[in-house]
Structure 1
Amino acid sequence: MSRQAGFILPSTIIVIFLCLLIFGAVGTTYVTEKNFLTETEQYYILDNMKTIAIVESLKILDDNNIDNNKYVAEQVNNGEYSFKFIKKTPNIYEVQLHCKTSKGREYTASYQYNLEQNKMIGWSE
């Protein structure tokens, strides 16, 4: 029994060290998953705003209610989107889209639209 006096302190330190390692691993996993969920949410919000901006710009193009350098901006619950029409030729317009979420994520794209054929002829991100 006299040789067991120094056994408790090293084993306690080892158990505490293992508990700290487990706690650190779980904490890191939690932070990583939380960041992933936030980024995924922002991606889908941005994708939804991009789709809304495209549909709205196509409605304006279909109505032939277009002026050169016409600028349209809309505020939505999760951010804002805008688009601008630039006349390239008498039948072709370039539409520049810009979307921004309330948390600062941004997306910019442009496409060309042919009024005679009523279709997109080019896309650029």
Structure 2
Amino acid sequence: MGNEKGFILPTTIIIMLLLSSFVIFQVSQYALEKKILSEEGELYTAERLLQMGVVDVLNILGSDNRENFSGNFYYEEGEVSFVVKKERNEMKSVRLISRTVAPKTKEFTFFYDVKTETVLPWLEER
């Protein structure tokens, strides 16, 4: 019992602290990545809803001659609300808002030329 300098116990404690901090860091990184992937999935779903809404609104615009109207489309992943307003003589603006099952929304506005029945570039809003 003459040599009790205590080398192994402090070294073991330091190694365990380093290992524990590394594991905690990795777990927090995993949780963050999981949250980001979930958010990206919701945004992708919101964009898909908007694309389906554009197709359905274009079908309505081709057959409906009203100047201003609004409505909703309900899909399995969420819903799309739209508002159509007459801007100029042969131009209508269409504002689409998608809401996913999880409360995530995305919206944009596009312009529709009634004479040529074409969609002009749209404005994406955050």
Structure 1 position 75 matched with structure 2 position 63: no
- The answer as to whether partners of 1:60 and 1:66 remain within 8 angstroms in 2 is no
Q: How many residue pairs align between the two structures?
A: 124
- Aligned partners of 1:84, 1:95: CA distance in 2, in Å? 6
Give the deviation of 1:45 after TM superposition.
0.3
**Partner secondary structure for residue 2 of structure 1:** coil
Q: 1:75 to 1:2 in 2, by over 3 A?
A: farther
- The answer as to whether partners of 1:67 and 1:85 remain within 8 angstroms in 2 is no
**Partner secondary structure for residue 68 of structure 1:** coil
**Partner secondary structure for residue 19 of structure 1:** helix
* Structure 1 letter corresponding to 2:117: N
Q: 1:66 to 1:4 in 2, by over 3 A?
A: farther
Q: Which residue of 2 aligns with 1:49?
A: 49
RMSD, matched Cα: 1.7
* Structure 2 letter corresponding to 1:35: K
* Structure 2 letter corresponding to 1:72: G
TM-score, structure 2 normalization = 0.87
- The answer as to whether partners of 1:113 and 1:119 remain within 8 angstroms in 2 is yes
- The answer as to whether partners of 1:66 and 1:85 remain within 8 angstroms in 2 is no
Gaps of 5+ in 2: none
Q: Which runs of 4+ in 1 moved over 3 A?
A: none
- Aligned partners of 1:119, 1:71: CA distance in 2, in Å? 19
- The answer as to whether partners of 1:69 and 1:85 remain within 8 angstroms in 2 is yes
Give the deviation of 1:4 after TM superposition.
4.1
Structure 1 position 102 matched with structure 2 position 101: yes
Question: Over residues 80-110 of structure 1, what are the superposed CA-to-partner deviations in whole Å (9 max), with x where a residue is unaligned?
Answer: 1111111123421111111111222211111
- Aligned partners of 1:68, 1:4: CA distance in 2, in Å? 92
- Percent of aligned positions with the same letter in both sequences? 26
Q: Which residue of 2 aligns with 1:20?
A: 20
Gaps of 5+ in 1: none
- Aligned partners of 2:72, 2:2: CA distance in 1, in Å? 82
Q: 1:66 to 1:85 in 2, by over 3 A?
A: farther
**Partner secondary structure for residue 29 of structure 2:** helix
